[in-house]
């Protein structure tokens, strides 16, 4: 009886959740249909309001609910932010920009592109105000270009430098009695260290120290230029923790004002010459996206196609957070066959992944560049498999703080024999037709002969990777290999080493592509990818949350371990990948 009641209750809950989801989908669809043709009519003296505390991706997730509030979705696109600022620069209705910036969820290279777009907007002589109750280093990096920077009197500013942190899984694997079998090439290929170490190796520590120093030095130099604070002073303040309060930030000229939001509004009214009780006409990103487009598009018969790959690299179709080689290959083929497309920009934001999938995309790049220029644009990270995607392009453009390189490969297998026996009481036995018919197996030890074969296979793939990289960069193989070994470089270091060609963001890559295709400004149109669909994202999140809750309910304290193992399952075959997850904070 109790089982029957439980099933009935579960069914009722399931129906309720399904109905609730259906209701929201219906409302969202209605909002989308109702607003699809509606244009935003701006009032004079408006202010573009950018909330940069959301997750920022290359391409936004279309959210019709945002239209109902005039705001923006929970996932906003870098392309949308830059497009809005470029349009607002020319829009007489927009008098300035207001930044709400505290905890931007964005990489350093993407932050650089937003910052550059704000600097370009200021050429219009319009104002930029920034406000935050608190500000991280990345938030301040964005806010530092503003004409006026307000920090809440009871808030705070983080100014203590950057730190890079890795997760290590050796303890988890030990608890589960899972033995990792690691094969790698390259002293600096630290992506496998989390499986057999509890901390960084000396080589890994060296490359990460150099990387974060370069990223922070670049940020400090830019802030110094914007705020007229000497570089040495900025670094001393980070070491001394002297920015302990908003008043300290004001004292050292990090901010122009310490004030509450109502004081920011008062300052904006004065800027806009409004009366005390007049309402400020803010317009959000989503709503402004439907305003009149003032940035003129070029001729439609000559196009530059932008193809975006964001996430880990796997075979098959792309999905949220994953680059599918089949999807990117198909997009490259379409661009290659489209006579209106004169050049291609391959935008990459990826720590790498499957070496096989990376090579599939490399091949399509080679075929495409035989017919038209292909330019790589590196975003926050284009390392290992991400660099594999870029290295065959005609030119590579990256930001000084882009994370790249990591030219190396590894293979990881796991022996679950002890885990099954000790945790679940399951044992295994087998018969084979040949000596290694069951190789590779996850339920027995690998023999020395089999281990040697696996290492040799990994080395062969590394040889292919480095040979193609050397050919793509037009440098001797020995020199390329001296830059490889899995070492991660900043964009600044990569340019000095010849791994990239030019500094800049996506716009710069488009300019390089136009020049390569002998197109003048105004003679071409940029073809960007479409927005992601909010309904698909909502369903994916709903089903993903449900799966996680079920796992927690069924496995209890073992759930986190299984979640970690699920991540490892995605790493099939030889990997061209950076460390599992690098957190710079």
Q: What's residue 393's pLDDT?
A: 98
What one-character DSSP code corresponds to residue 293? P
Q: Assess whether 268 and 346 both reside in one domain.
A: no
The label of the residue with tokens 């305003």 reads: 291
pLDDT tens per residue, range 173-195:
999 899 988 888 877 777 888 88
Q: Assess whether 335 and 395 both reside in one domain.
A: yes
- Confidence band, pLDDT 50/70/90 cuts, at residue 166: confident
Q: Residue 504's domain spans which residues?
A: 303-584
CA distances from 334 to 2, 289, 449, 516 (A): 58, 27, 45, 20
Q: Assess whether 340 and 404 both reside in one domain.
A: yes
Q: What's residue 532's pLDDT?
A: 56
pLDDT at 292 over 80: yes
Q: Assess whether 400 and 316 both reside in one domain.
A: yes
- Nearest Cα neighbor of 193 from 442, 387, 408, 418 is 408
Q: Assess whether 279 and 385 both reside in one domain.
A: no
Q: Assess whether 428 and 472 both reside in one domain.
A: yes
CB contact at 8 A, 156 and 103: no
365 is a domain residue: yes
Mean pLDDT value across residues 547-560: 54
CATH of the domain at 153: 3.90.226.10
Tally of CA atoms within 13 A in the half-sphere of 469 that contains its CB: 32
Residues with a catalytic annotation lie at 189, 384
404 is a domain residue: yes
Can you name the residues that pair with 381 across neighbouring β-strands? Answer: 403
Q: What's residue 541's pLDDT?
A: 47
Q: Assess whether 377 and 260 both reside in one domain.
A: no
Mean pLDDT value across residues 485-509: 95
pLDDT at 547 over 60: no
**Is the peptide bond preceding residue 280 cis, with omega within 30 degrees of 0?**
no
pLDDT tens per residue, range 134-153:
999 999 999 999 999 999 99
Q: What's residue 268's pLDDT?
A: 97
Q: What's residue 517's pLDDT?
A: 96
293 is a domain residue: no
Other CB atoms within a 10 A radius of the CB of residue 241 amount to: 11
Quick one: CA dihedral 214, 215, 217, 221, positive or negative? positive
Q: Assess whether 245 and 336 both reside in one domain.
A: no
318 is a domain residue: yes
492 is a domain residue: yes
Q: Assess whether 409 and 454 both reside in one domain.
A: yes
End-to-end CA distance of the chain: 53
Q: What's residue 319's pLDDT?
A: 85
pLDDT at 156 over 80: yes
Rounded to the nearest integer, the mean pLDDT of the chain is 87
Q: Assess whether 266 and 347 both reside in one domain.
A: no
Tally of domains within the chain? 2
544 is a domain residue: yes
Domain end marker among 219, 253, 288: 288
170 is a domain residue: no
47 is a domain residue: yes
pLDDT tens per residue, range 98-136:
999 999 999 999 999 999 999 999 999 999 999 999 999
Q: Assess whether 364 and 454 both reside in one domain.
A: yes
- Confidence band, pLDDT 50/70/90 cuts, at residue 411: confident
pLDDT at 21 over 60: no
Query: Comparing 53-67, 251-265, 505-519, 569-583, which segment has the lowest mean pLDDT?
Result: 569-583
Q: Assess whether 505 and 558 both reside in one domain.
A: yes
CB contact at 8 A, 585 and 163: yes
- Confidence band, pLDDT 50/70/90 cuts, at residue 69: very low
Q: What's residue 24's pLDDT?
A: 52
- Nearest Cα neighbor of 517 from 304, 367, 297, 337 is 304
46-51: strand order across its sheet? 257-258, 148-157, 127-135, 94-100, 46-51, 281-283
Give the three-class secondary structure for 37.
Answer: coil
pLDDT tens per residue, range 384-406:
999 999 999 999 999 999 999 99
């Amino acid at each position: 009886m109790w089982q029957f009641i439980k099933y009935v209750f579960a069914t009722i809950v399931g129906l309720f959740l399904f109905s609730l989801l259906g209701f929201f989908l219906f409302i969202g669809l209605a909002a989308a249909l109702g607003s699809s043709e509606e244009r935003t009519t701006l009032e004079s003296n408006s202010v573009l309001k950018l909330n940069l505390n959301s997750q920022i991706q290359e391409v936004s997730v279309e959210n019709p609910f945002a239209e109902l509030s005039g705001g923006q979705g929970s996932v906003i696109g870098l392309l949308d932010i830059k497009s809005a600022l470029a349009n607002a620069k020319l829009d007489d209705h927009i008098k300035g920009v207001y930044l709400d910036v505290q905890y931007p969820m964005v990489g350093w290279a993407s932050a650089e592109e937003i910052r550059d777009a704000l600097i370009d907007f200021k050429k219009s002589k319009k104002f930029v105000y920034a406000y935050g109750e608190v500000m991280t280093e990345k938030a301040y990096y964005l806010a530092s270009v503003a004409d006026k920077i307000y920090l809440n009197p009871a808030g705070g500013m983080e100014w203590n430098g950057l730190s890079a942190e890795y997760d290590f899984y050796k303890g988890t694997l030990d608890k589960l009695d899972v033995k990792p079998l690691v094969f790698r090439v390259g002293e600096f290929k630290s992506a496998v260290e989390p499986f057999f170490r509890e901390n960084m190796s000396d080589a890994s520590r060296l490359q990460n120290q150099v990387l974060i120093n370069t990223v922070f030095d670049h940020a400090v130099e830019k802030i110094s230029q914007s705020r007229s604070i000497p570089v040495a002073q900025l670094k001393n303040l980070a070491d001394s923790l002297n920015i302990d309060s908003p008043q300290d930030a004001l004292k050292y000229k990090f901010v122009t004002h310490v004030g509450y939001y109502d004081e920011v509004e008062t300052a904006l009214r004065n800027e806009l010459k409004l009366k005390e009780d007049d309402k400020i006409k803010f317009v959000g990103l989503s709503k402004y996206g439907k305003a009149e487009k003032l940035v003129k598009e070029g001729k439609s018969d000559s196009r530059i196609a932008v193809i975006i790959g964001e996430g880990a690299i796997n075979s098959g179709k792309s999905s949220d957070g994953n680059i599918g080689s089949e999807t990117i290959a198909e997009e490259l083929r379409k661009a290659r066959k489209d006579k209106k497309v004169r050049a291609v920009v391959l935008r990459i934001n990826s720590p790498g992944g499957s070496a096989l999938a990376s090579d599939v995309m490399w091949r399509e790049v080679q075929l495409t560049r035989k017919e038209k220029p292909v330019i790589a644009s590196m975003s926050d990270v284009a390392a290992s498999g991400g660099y594999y995607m870029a290295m065959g392009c005609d030119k590579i453009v990256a930001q000084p703080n882009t994370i790249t390189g990591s030219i190396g490969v590894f293979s990881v297998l796991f022996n679950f024999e002890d885990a099954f026996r000790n945790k679940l009481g399951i044992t295994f036995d087998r018969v084979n037709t040949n000596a290694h018919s069951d190789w590779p197996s996850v339920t027995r030890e690998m023999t020395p002969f089999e281990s040697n074969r696996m290492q040799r296979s990994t080395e062969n793939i590394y040889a292919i990777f480095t040979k193609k990289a050397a050919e793509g960069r037009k440098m001797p193989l020995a020199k390329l290999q001296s830059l490889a070994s899995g070492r991660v470089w900043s964009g600044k270091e990569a340019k000095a080493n010849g791994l990239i060609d030019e500094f800049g963001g996506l716009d710069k890559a488009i300019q390089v592509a136009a020049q390569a295709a002998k197109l003048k400004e105004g003679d071409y149109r940029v073809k960007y990818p479409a927005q992601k669909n909010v309904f698909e994202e909502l369903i994916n999140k709903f089903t993903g949350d449900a799966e996680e809750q079920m796992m927690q309910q069924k496995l209890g304290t073992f759930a986190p371990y299984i979640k970690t193992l699920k991540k490892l399952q995605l790493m099939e075959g030889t990997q061209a990948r950076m460390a599992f997850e690098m957190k710079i904070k």
